[in-house]
Structures are given as C-alpha cells and as structure tokens.
Structure 1
Amino acid sequence: MAPIVAGTLCPFAVKARMRGAPAYDEGRSLRANLEASVPAFTCFTEDTRTEELDAFVYRFPRSAVGDDINRLARLVRTLVEVLLVHDPVDPRVPARRDILAARWRLSFAGVDYFAPVFSPVYGKEHSRYTYGVSDSVFVLMQPNSSFHTRLGSRATKIRGNIRSRFEEAGQPYPSTELEAHKFVLPLNPEDNPVNWYDLPPFPRDCIAERGLMAS
C-alpha cells in the first residue's frame, strides 16, 4: 500500500492507522483465504470501538483476482458474502434488495464499513490508481468511525475539498448516491455503475476457481 498512500490526494492517508489481513495463501482458493481472514477482521472490528483505526487492508495477488472489472466485482461480491455469513452478531446472506436500499451500509459485528477497491486495471487518471503497483489488488475496509473522527464537524466542507482536489488532478469520482456503487468504480466516471451484487461469488473449491479464471 505504500505507493498508494504516498501518491493519493487524500490528505488523511499518510496518517492512517492500518492493519493487514493474513498473507494470501496461493495454495488455497480466494474464498478460503477470505474465510481465514475473518478472525483477524473480527478482532480489528472490536478494536475500532476503543482505538482510532482507519483501515483493514486486504491484498490479493493480481493473478488470483484477474484483470478486468468483472473480476473485481466478483471479488467484492465474494468478500461481502463471506463477511456477512460469518458476522458474529448478525450472520446473514447478502440480499440484492437490501444492498440497493438508499440507507444500506456494509455492516459487520455492528460496525459500518466502506470498502473501496484499488487495482492496476485503473489508469493514472483514476481515483483508484495503484501508483505503479502492478501485481496486487487492494480492498480497504474503512470503518465509518474513521471518517467521523477525521472529518469532525466540518465533514461536508472537507469532503467537498477532497473531491475538488481529485477533480483538479484529473481523477474525478463518478457521481453516485448508492453506497454499493462506490466500492468497485467503473473505468470511466461516465460509465454505468458496477453491479457487483448481481455476479456470482468465487467458489471455495480451488480447482473450480482456477478453471473459472482460465475461462
């Protein structure tokens, strides 16, 4: 994440307090890796109640995730499903109707999260550019409490200033109201939102997954 932290126009990135998911095991499926991360993510979530933590970082080898937006969408679809199914407070299966609701947030153990995806598929003129990192895809699980702490009482003004900085640098955000459409962004701001919730998740079986990646 270091090149992204150093390169991004977000003024809070360099001060962010992050933890990482367990190292990706390429001998296991993507879904199995996500399931193995749940205890560490649960611990992180509990600690956000008493510590000012900013992100839980998932790093995936590009070779395991793929090279296009649909693969990123399936990654998020799988991540959301694994986390919700293993939620220690409210285990559930993600429902499209809920995800498309105006007030929906990705919630785990009672904590709301924002989950932006950063990938080499995004070019230099994109807000999710990886600044030279070409072999990895990242998903940042950012607790909403981090935004509240960092932005304070001037949240609306600060958000507007940050958005303006990105636009002036040629990395505009797409205009979207739904939270779900902010996780995986389209390649171009004017493109349709990425409907990750409509795609099938990656399977748990490693052989089946490799077959899908090759197809």
Structure 2
Amino acid sequence: MWNTLHKYRSNLILCIRISCFLGFLATSLVISWSSLTAFVALLVSLYALKDDENKRDAIPKFNRNPLKGKPQISVGDLPRKVIDLMEHKVTELVTYDAEDVDSLANFETLKMNTECIFAKKARLWGSPKWNYDLSIEHNIYQSVPTFLKFTCVCEPLGLDGFVYELPGDYGKDVQTFGQAVHRVLTTISDHDPSGVHCMKQSFIAKRGWVFQFNKITFFVTTFAPCYPDNHSRYAFDSDHAYILLQPEISFAQHDLPSDTPVTNWDNPKTVRDRIRVAFRDAGREYKIRDTIYFPTVLEIVKPIESNGPDVKWWISDKKND
C-alpha cells in the first residue's frame, strides 16, 4: 500500500517540476512578474517537494510488512529482571509441580522400604499423571521440559533423582518391561538439547557408555511388578513400574565411595558395604560382578534370576514399538 502511494506521489512531483520548468522557459525571455513567479515555482518544486526517503523510513514499523526487516527490540535488550520474569512464566506454562505428583506418592512405599540407606531422605521429582490415551512416547514427551529443568537445578537444589512411573502392564514380565524402558529412555534421549542422543550411540552395550541428558550423566535403576519379593528390584506390590534416573553428581554430594567388587560382608566399613549387607539380610541380595569394568547398560534392567542371562533391553523390538 505504501509503495503504491509513494509511486503516485513521485510521479506527481515530477509532473509539477516539468510544468514549472516549461513555464519558466516560456516567460524567461522577458523579465516580468510572470517569469519571476515561474522561477519561484520551479525552486519550490525542487526543494519544497523533495522526495525524501528518510521520511519514508520514519513511518512506524507497524505500518510496514512485519515479516521484513529486523525487530525494533530484542530480548537481550530487556532488563535482567524482565527476562527472568519471562523465563519464569514460560516455565509455568510448559511444566508442572514435579514434587507434588501421584508418581511420587505411589513411589513412596518403595522409597521407604528399600534397603538403600539414602532412599528415605532422597529428594525426588516425578513424572505427571499417565494419559492412557497416548503412547509411551507421547506421555514421556510431555514431561521432557520438566526433566530438562531438573537437569538444570538438580545440583544447586540437591535433588537425588527423577522418577518415571509407568502402568503396571508394562512391567508384567521382564521382556515387556525392558522394551518399555527402551522406549522411555529413547524418547528422552531423542530430545537431548546437547545433541548427544546417547540411546543411538553405537557403543551402548560396551564399557564407557552411560545414559546422559543435557550433559548430565545418570545411574538408571528400574522396578516392576514382575520382580518377586526376593529381588533387589522388587516394587513392593506396587501396581506400577518405575524408572529412577539418579544424576551421578548426587552420589558425590552424599560422599558415596567409588565402586568396588570387594565387599566386607562380616564387618561392613563403607556405605557401599552397608547397603550390600542390608539387601542380603533382607533376602534381596543382588549380583556383584567381579570387576567394575563392565557395560553399565546391563544393570538397568535386571533378569528375574540373579544368575540369569542379561536382558538386552536396549535392542528395540520393532513389533512392539
């Protein structure tokens, strides 16, 4: 619209200038009031009717195409307090109260009864209520913003883990549970802002691999209804299955000693010794490998039998995806 009006205005000015110039030529042979008037009109057409591009640029931006040109102000130009307020409001829109959810309330029984001496005082965040009309992938996707926030604040807030709760049907047997764990961790990994996408790494079944998201590494533990009461992954008769992601920095904050295949069963001295003895005394002794150099992926989903074959849960069963 502006370009059309500007074109008409420029043509009008040109016509006036030409008319004034012709009038000046026609009357300039004899100096008279008419020739002087024509000369003045010519000067006016040259200076007063100037086609000023600066005036065009002075038109407010909202009268021009909003898709062209740069914005008048960027977020970085705003005061820090305003930016913080904007971030807070956005967070409120895309997340939920991760410390007040059913998943944590349901996980409380397991948390208070497990033999891990850190569990009872652990500060956790949890996943939102499960939507049975959606797939695993869509349910987990909805919690990714909150999990991302967790990775940003877990260290300064002293958070110990993030709990994902799944319907019990996904934990009815170890094979079904393993595939559910694969889908959950893959969905999280696919949205890793750091771009690592650890679930797609080629060395996932080898030493050195670890689950990570947003440059935070995690120790992953799982619990499901399929595990009996003499198993370390026993869910204490819960109707749900759980995936607990513990940031490894949490272990450092609790001064947990380095892993070792050696255990002082008769005279436990370290925190790790006491945890292993507690599980044994409760009838839930778990397998301790004779070396610390093994693929950590093998510890995420345990077989039902302590000496049973490793569950290759990281290999996707496309038929069930």
Does the 8 Å contact 1:18/1:54 carry over to 2? yes
CA distance, structure 2, for counterparts of residue 42 and residue 178 of structure 1: 26
CA distance, structure 1, for counterparts of residue 180 and residue 109 of structure 2: 22
Corresponding residue for 2:273? 160
- Which residue identity lines up with residue 248 of structure 2 in the other structure? N
Q: Give 1:49 deviation, angstroms.
A: 3.2
**Higher mean C-alpha deviation, range 173-182 or range 113-122:** 173-182
Corresponding residue for 1:24? 130
Query: Residue deviations 1:111-170, cap 9 Å, x none?
Result: 00111111111111011111121x111111111111111134577632132112212222
Q: How does 1:61-210 map to 2 (within 5 A)?
A: 61-63=167-169, 65-92=170-197, 94-95=199-200, 97-133=202-238, 135-152=239-256, 157-176=270-289, 177-200=294-317, 203=321
Structure 1's unaligned 5+ residue stretches are 204-215
Instruction: Provide TM-score, normalisation by structure 2.
Output: 0.59
Identical counterparts, % of pairs: 29
Corresponding residue for 1:41? 147
Q: For the structure 1 residues 152 and 62, does the alpha-carbon distance in structure 2 shift closer, same or farther, using more than 3 Å as the test?
A: closer
CA distance, structure 1, for counterparts of residue 295 and residue 306 of structure 2: 15
More relative contact order, 1 or 2 (CA 8 Å, 6+ apart)? 1
Q: For the structure 1 residues 111 and 71, does the alpha-carbon distance in structure 2 shift closer, same or farther, using more than 3 Å as the test?
A: same
Q: Partner of 1:77: helix, strand, or coil?
A: helix
CA distance, structure 1, for counterparts of residue 150 and residue 250 of structure 2: 13
Q: For the structure 1 residues 155 and 67, does the alpha-carbon distance in structure 2 shift closer, same or farther, using more than 3 Å as the test?
A: closer
**Backbone CA RMSD of aligned residues:** 1.9
Structure index of larger Rg: 2
Q: For the structure 1 residues 153 and 130, does the alpha-carbon distance in structure 2 shift closer, same or farther, using more than 3 Å as the test?
A: closer
Query: Residue deviations 1:70-115, cap 9 Å, x none?
Result: 1111111112211211001125362463212211110100000111
CA distance, structure 2, for counterparts of residue 7 and residue 200 of structure 1: 33
Q: For the structure 1 residues 104 and 27, does the alpha-carbon distance in structure 2 shift closer, same or farther, using more than 3 Å as the test?
A: same
Does the 8 Å contact 1:19/1:57 carry over to 2? yes
Q: Partner of 1:97: helix, strand, or coil?
A: coil
Query: Residue deviations 1:37-94, cap 9 Å, x none?
Result: 111110111111322101111111113x151111111111112211211001125362
CA distance, structure 1, for counterparts of residue 259 and residue 297 of structure 2: 21
Query: Residue deviations 1:159-194, cap 9 Å, x none?
Result: 132112212222121234321011111111110111
**Residues paired across the two proteins, number:** 201
Q: Partner of 2:166: helix, strand, or coil?
A: strand
Structure 2's unaligned 5+ residue stretches are 1-106, 261-269
Q: Partner of 2:250: helix, strand, or coil?
A: helix
Q: Partner of 1:58: helix, strand, or coil?
A: strand
Instruction: Provide TM-score, normalisation by structure 1.
Output: 0.86
